[in-house]
Structure 1
Amino acid sequence: MDLSHPAPTAEILHMRISVPAALALGGSLALGALLAPASHATEPGRQCQSLGVANLYGEFVEGDDTHTPDAEGAVAIGGNADFTGGFTVGQELTAEQVAALPGGNALVVAGNLTGTNTQVMKGNGVYGGKLTGVADAHQGKVVKGASPIDFAAEFGKLRAASTALAAAPATAGAKAESSGTRLTLTGTDARLNTFTVAAATLQAAKEVYLNVPAGASTVVNVTGDSYDMAAAGTTGFFLWDAAKKGYVLDDKLQSAAGGAVRAKLLWNFPTATKVVKNSAAAWSGSVLAPNAAFDLGSGGPVNGSVIAKSLTGKGGAETHHYPFTGCLPAEVPPVVVPTTPGVPTGSASAPATPGTPGTPAGTSPAATPGTGGTPAPSPSATGSAPAAPGAVPSASASPSATPSTGGGLALTGANGALPIAIGGLVVLAVGGGLVVAGRRRAAGRS
């Protein structure tokens, strides 16, 4: 949960402050400003990076969204929305999740909203341009107004986060192995497993198998300019269920560990400009593709959220409401330290404090999955060593301003070195400034 820290009062600043105390205070202010995108504690005693306001929406699109027939979660669109043919939004949202949305808006369209029958099942709706057709809200209202989300700022942060995730090394023991038309991803870490797979390797797989502990967060970094799930006719994603000692084909009515695996599964496409889902299969987990035109196809759902530059889908190609609840360790580039201590520099659209997503049952960390019934795919050249990420648009200059609470920031590999070094300098500068200010005030009184 994000908590804002009030600025120190004049009485506090006039008190005599020892050097260690000043450094500690200065450090807390500086580190609070460096936490971007918005952080949230999804695991006790562990501070996690989230996907900011995008984490609240099942479809978070920078540009246009052309889609039917529905999205079970909330939808936010930075361009125009074309829901011709009928579209329903937010049927599976909880009251807590609706309250966490900016303005309680389960549907946000910054541009024009076109649709013969657009129904917001829970929450409000807002559009910024012209309304063509019908748009109603069952438990709120749909109005014309300014977007409560700064999409340019949010996608700047999302691109930075996507790049940082791709640059992180694969976790120890994580393996990506191909055997014929089958790709198996195996990780043993109970908290986080990261993989790097070439788009061509993933695209060649007719079946994708994931074997990780049920409570672990999983990030699959996919390198390349495009990925077409339909090219190889991928039939589905199979997730390891430790209790059943076997793989389970992920779908709405069934999933490994009661949905605990897919809830913390994120597919990251840092450089892809086009991603296509196979209409004959469901996609398991959430997708972060901030530079891509995402094609849902004409059938089969995404059992998770989709974050993309643009989105299209029709027929039975829905997005199911399984929000990402994983803990991301990657650091985004540090923000400019504010000149006034305690007043972080922020975007015009600081995200609302998110509520606790509807986490499927059985999300507590489990022991490393057993090997009984686990196929032994042959090793291949795909491996799990990360490739250098390609060019990605630079991050926005206005990151989230909301500092967070929790334990130490989770870092992966060498990514934490630069932020820690910068943080140390900031600690000295800010802390030292407070000491000097205190002494000058004391001298003025004498």
Structure 2
Amino acid sequence: MRIPVPAAALALGGSLALAGLAAPIALVVPAAHAAGPGAAGASAAPCRSLGVASLYGEFVEGDDTHTPDAEGAVAVGGNADFTGGFSVGQELTPEQVAALPGGNALVVAGTVTGHSTQVMKGNGVYGAKAPGAVVEAHQGRVGQGVSPIDFKAEFAALRAASAALGAVSQTAAATVEAKGADLYLGGTGTGLNTFTVTAERLQGATDVYVKVPAGSVTVVNVTGDTYDMAAAKTTGFHLWDEGRKAYVLDDKLQSAAGGAVRAKLLWNFPTAGKVVKNSAAAWAGTVLAPNAAFDLGSGGPVNGSVIAKSLTGKGGAETHHYPFTGCLPAVVPAPTTVPTVPPTTVPTVPPVVPGGSPSATAPSTAPGVPGTPSGSGSPSAPVSGRPTPGASGVPSASPSASAPGSVPSASVSPSATPTAGGNLAHTGSGPVVPLAIGGAVVLAAGGAIVVATRRRAARKA
């Protein structure tokens, strides 16, 4: 039986629409998530960070007793004693401030004490102020309120992450070698290098040397219940600079590869109940010790973030703003808090006007998303990983943040709702709406074909 051309055209349009509705949905994984640590190309391994902790230079579950300052942001789940004066957030960039929960560079869930606590950039929030306490903001606002961070949930996730990292075997090509009073850690992985060192062996070193490719993620798992850097008077952390073909003593004014090594260096203490830093040392990298009372000492900074159960420090014992920006292995659980994605606007479908032709393209109004041809489905929402600190990177890590780095983007704000499936974005609309719109566009195009065919047939008649 011969099918009339108009009917065939309509049937074709309908078939295309139905095929679009029945076709499986392809999930687009951003490159930052697709290529996990050590991957040479695209991979299904998701990129993990330390969650909201990667945005803060001091992230403390309990009490924080500290002077004189923290160059990055500070979040305290207990009470904060800043007696003697304390400043927060001097080195934060506007993008990093915007990425903080509520823009708060200072979060104290309990009571803040101290006659001069200065929030240099961003906002500040505290549960209560001790009599005579003064908390001032220079480029934002500060006041009493509820903590925007669920410290209990965050530290449950951090402990799980620390334990998972601690269970990762040392990289096959990695070496840990003592040379006299010095300890050398060497790895060749361009993606991930993991080391396992006992606390006793680490604290026995006067100087620590780390040689890994710049840009690689380095995790040093330190086993044991207590680590006391002051026991052997460890005074130097030296990072390999491939450009110089030499080790560089890490400090604020100098670091290997412009800070790229330090930004992705994580010291993990999964079981330690106490960690003590020697006052004469500048500790390079971020310290993850979620079960430990961390003693910064009275001099020498941590050139990275400190994530601990509690923290004490005085004198010159500062935390410098070089947050962790590395992408952690997939064994690490997804963070409790992940960046949110700006909502997209669904393109409208132009109606078929008799005598005219339908528009071939329906542009998307979502920021950063190019226009998508009609009938091709809805555009994918962009996904950001972990804030990219302006001078670092995790974290992160971000980065990163400040030291150079790539993790997470500081242009997004954290959300209290975790996402599943490797931190993929979810707009909430599901696949039905975009597919229905695609089908409608195809049907509209089919209708246009029918109209045009009939007109040609009428002219021939």
TM superposition score normalised by structure 1: 0.70
CA distance in 2: counterparts of 1:55 and 1:195, whole angstroms: 21
Q: Is the 8 A contact 1:264 1:324 kept in 2?
A: yes
CA distance in 1: counterparts of 2:76 and 2:151, whole angstroms: 8
**Residue identity opposite 2:291 in structure 1:** N
CA distance in 2: counterparts of 1:116 and 1:41, whole angstroms: 48
CA distance in 2: counterparts of 1:168 and 1:399, whole angstroms: 27
CA distance in 2: counterparts of 1:267 and 1:128, whole angstroms: 31
Which of residues 389, 397, 417 is equivalent to 1:357?
Answer: 389
> In the alignment, what sits opposite 2:276?
276
**Aligned with 1:111: secondary structure?**
strand
**Residue identity opposite 1:306 in structure 2:** V
Structure 1 segment 45-444 matched on structure 2, within 5 A: 47-132=46-131, 133-332=133-332, 354-360=386-392, 400-401=418-419
**Aligned with 1:48: secondary structure?**
coil
**Residue identity opposite 2:387 in structure 1:** G
**Residue identity opposite 1:311 in structure 2:** L
- Inter-CA distance 331–255: structure 2 relative to 1 (3 Å threshold): same
- Inter-CA distance 77–177: structure 2 relative to 1 (3 Å threshold): same
Q: CA deviation at 1:330?
A: 3.8
**Aligned with 2:75: secondary structure?**
strand
Higher relative contact order (CA 8 A, sep 6+): 1
CA distance in 1: counterparts of 2:121 and 2:34, whole angstroms: 24
**Residue identity opposite 2:53 in structure 1:** A
Q: Is the 8 A contact 1:290 1:309 kept in 2?
A: yes
Q: CA deviation at 1:350?
A: 5.8
CA distance in 1: counterparts of 2:36 and 2:235, whole angstroms: 32
Aligned length: 341
**Aligned with 2:201: secondary structure?**
helix
**Residue identity opposite 2:246 in structure 1:** G
Q: CA deviation at 1:405?
A: 6.2
Q: CA deviation at 1:181?
A: 1.4
**Aligned with 1:233: secondary structure?**
coil
- Inter-CA distance 82–260: structure 2 relative to 1 (3 Å threshold): same
Q: Cα RMSD between the aligned structures?
A: 3.2
**Residue identity opposite 1:355 in structure 2:** P
- Inter-CA distance 364–158: structure 2 relative to 1 (3 Å threshold): closer
**Residue identity opposite 1:118 in structure 2:** T
**Aligned with 2:178: secondary structure?**
strand
Q: CA deviation at 1:363?
A: 5.7
Question: What are the superposed Cα offsets for residues 87-127 of structure 1, whole Å, 9 maximum, x if unpaired?
Answer: 00000000000000000000000000001100000000000
Question: What are the superposed Cα offsets for residues 318-357 of structure 1, whole Å, 9 maximum, x if unpaired?
Answer: 00000111111142458xxxxxxxxxxx96x666675322
Q: Is the 8 A contact 1:325 1:359 kept in 2?
A: no
**Residue identity opposite 2:90 in structure 1:** Q
CA distance in 1: counterparts of 2:88 and 2:405, whole angstroms: 30
Q: CA deviation at 1:172?
A: 2.3
- Inter-CA distance 41–89: structure 2 relative to 1 (3 Å threshold): farther
**Residue identity opposite 1:126 in structure 2:** V
Q: Is the 8 A contact 1:123 1:141 kept in 2?
A: yes
**Aligned with 1:116: secondary structure?**
coil
Q: Is the 8 A contact 2:157 2:333 kept in 1?
A: no
> In the alignment, what sits opposite 1:383?
none
TM superposition score normalised by structure 2: 0.68
Q: Is the 8 A contact 1:153 1:399 kept in 2?
A: no
Q: Is the 8 A contact 2:389 2:405 kept in 1?
A: no
Structure 1 segment 22-33 matched on structure 2, within 5 A: none
Q: Is the 8 A contact 1:239 1:256 kept in 2?
A: yes
- Inter-CA distance 40–273: structure 2 relative to 1 (3 Å threshold): farther
CA distance in 2: counterparts of 1:80 and 1:40, whole angstroms: 40
- Inter-CA distance 271–254: structure 2 relative to 1 (3 Å threshold): same
CA distance in 2: counterparts of 1:214 and 1:332, whole angstroms: 22
Q: CA deviation at 1:362?
A: 9.4
Q: Is the 8 A contact 1:40 1:50 kept in 2?
A: no
Question: What are the superposed Cα offsets for residues 65-100 of structure 1, whole Å, 9 maximum, x if unpaired?
Answer: 000000000000000000000000000000000000
**Residue identity opposite 1:172 in structure 2:** A
**Aligned with 2:136: secondary structure?**
strand
Q: Is the 8 A contact 1:257 1:362 kept in 2?
A: no
Q: CA deviation at 1:169?
A: 1.3
CA distance in 1: counterparts of 2:155 and 2:73, whole angstroms: 17
Q: Is the 8 A contact 1:105 1:123 kept in 2?
A: yes
CA distance in 1: counterparts of 2:156 and 2:423, whole angstroms: 23
Q: CA deviation at 1:129?
A: 2.5
- Inter-CA distance 298–364: structure 2 relative to 1 (3 Å threshold): closer
**Residue identity opposite 1:90 in structure 2:** G
Q: Is the 8 A contact 1:40 1:49 kept in 2?
A: no
Report the identity percentage: 69
Question: What are the superposed Cα offsets for residues 385-429 of structure 1, whole Å, 9 maximum, x if unpaired?
Answer: xxxxxxxxxxxxx983376668xxxxxxxxxxxxxxxxxxxxxxx
**Aligned with 2:230: secondary structure?**
coil
Q: Which has the larger radius of gyration?
A: 2
- Inter-CA distance 238–124: structure 2 relative to 1 (3 Å threshold): same
Q: Is the 8 A contact 2:108 2:147 kept in 1?
A: yes
**Residue identity opposite 2:418 in structure 1:** S
**Aligned with 2:59: secondary structure?**
strand
Q: Is the 8 A contact 2:262 2:403 kept in 1?
A: no
- Inter-CA distance 136–402: structure 2 relative to 1 (3 Å threshold): farther
